[in-house]
A and B are shown apart, each in its own frame.
Chain A
Amino acid sequence: EAGVAQSPRYKIIEKRQSVAFWCNPISGHATLYWYQQILGQGPKLLIQFQNNGVVDDSQLPKDRFSAERLKGVDSTLKIQPAKLEDSAVYLCASSLGIAPPDTQYFGPGTRLTVL
């Protein structure tokens, strides 16, 4: 079974530039999550999708971050414009989306460096 795919694996940009990350979840997984993991900390949930609807985006900085999951499969996370404090690893995870407990499967992450 193929895992969660993410691209790119690494990205270096200058502040105020834009950047986008892509995630392809495990086939058949209805729920998709984006997390931000700052160095030395645990992952922090940014947004959770159930199929193509948003379940929780309470911690997404909506003035600069946006995410979509068209057709309920792939998802993109965008930052526009980026700030220095956005330097982090962005992790995508997916789960079946059935009744809890629901195990999340994580992709390898995209490491973003903002200069």
Chain B
Amino acid sequence: SQQGEEDPQALSIQEGENATMNCSYKTSINNLQWYRQNSGRGLVHLILIRSNEREKHSGRLRVTLDTSKKSSSLLITASRAADTASYFCATDRRGSQGNLIFGKGTKLSVKP
């Protein structure tokens, strides 16, 4: 079963613009992670935010977490054509063995 649901399903922007993707989940978590998947390739870990954190930054990435609303957002600033990919949130549920439950992803297209 899918835990996370990303929104929007698809997003198309121009290079230089910011891209925001949202994720909602259902159960209590230890942490939430964001992954990127380029077409035809495996997933690459981007950033992890723990359940007791509210915001985290990594380069052009900014992640927020609101555990009261069971939601997270990923902001990519000053997007580049190379950011074109699918982005997935994944939750490490409280009480799990560390395995992740992924959402369906947001397909981001950045036009040069």
Contacts and interface: CB of A to CB of B under 8 A. Distances in A.
Contacts of B25: none
Contacts, number: 63
Interface string B29-41: 0110101000011
A31 B45 CA distance: 16
B97 A106 contact: no
Contacts of B33: 101, 103
A4 B42 contact: yes
Interface residues of A, number: 27
Interface residue range, chain B? 20 to 34
B102 A44 contact: yes
Contacts of A101: 30-31, 33, 48, 50, 92
A104 B100 contact: yes
Contact of A107 (B42, B45, B105): B42
A61 to B, nearest CB: 15
Interface string B83-99: 00000101010001111
Interface of B: 2, 4, 30-31, 33, 35, 40-45, 48, 50, 88, 90, 92, 96-105
Interface of A: 4, 31, 33, 40-45, 48, 50, 55-56, 91, 93, 95, 100-109, 111
